[in-house]
Structure 1
């Protein structure tokens, strides 16, 4: 089962490909999504990455949380279920 991560503090110019490439050294990236505004199409500055295992997800958290990506410090943690 995939291990979903929340990635906050992304530069607004970050693409899904760049997000995936940043997490690839930690294991298999199942998906990488940059969340965008529905009206403008502009990035909201956060996204989600799914790693193939919990171990890879933890390695990605340990390796990426607090690190710089595109000139901004990113926050990485386990994604919580969406609440109503």
Structure 2
């Protein structure tokens, strides 16, 4: 029986995915792998590409086997300059570990500009 029909990211419950934002469009998985592999066992590096053009979409996913290694990579690489861009590294929003780590942070990320304004006068429509 073939296991290729399953999702692109198998065994997600046993791995820790990091979302890497703001990567250079020329940066490849081969560039990122050695950088992240310094901090632990990297299972894979995935850079989503635009379906039409095939170009990088400017972010990547890096999967680690162990949570403490993933956390170390976040601590060391978040804000690091890679190929001229300061990358942002955080735990991805899916998987069993994501909800626990991101609780609270998600709530703060809601833009404060929406909703009620401070003035009592109604806005002209």
Question: Shorter-normalised TM-score: what interval?
Answer: over 0.9
Rounded to whole Å, the distance in 2 between the matches of 1:57 and 1:9 is 18
The runs of at least 4 consecutive aligned structure 1 residues that moved more than 3 Å come to none
Aligned partners of 1:10 and 1:72 also within 8 Å: yes
TM-score for both structures, normalised by structure 1: 0.93
Listed one character per residue, the Cα deviations across residues 19-45 of structure 1 (whole Å, up to 9, x for unaligned) are: 111101001100101111011000010
Say how many residue pairs are matched.
82
Does structure 1 residue 13 correspond to structure 2 residue 13? no
Rounded to whole Å, the distance in 2 between the matches of 1:24 and 1:14 is 16
Map of 1:29-44 to 2, 5 A cutoff?
Answer: 29-44=42-57
Unmatched 5+ residue regions in structure 2? Answer: 1-13, 96-125
Give 1:76's match in structure 2, choosing from 86, 89, 93.
Answer: 89
Q: Using CA pairs under 8 Å that are at least 6 residues apart, name the structure with larger relative contact order, 1 or 2.
A: 1
Rounded to whole Å, the distance in 1 between the matches of 2:75 and 2:55 is 28
**RMSD of aligned residue pairs (Cα, Å):** 1.2
Rounded to whole Å, the distance in 2 between the matches of 1:81 and 1:53 is 16
Greater per-residue strand proportion:
1
SS at match of 1:43: coil
The structure number with the bigger radius of gyration is 2
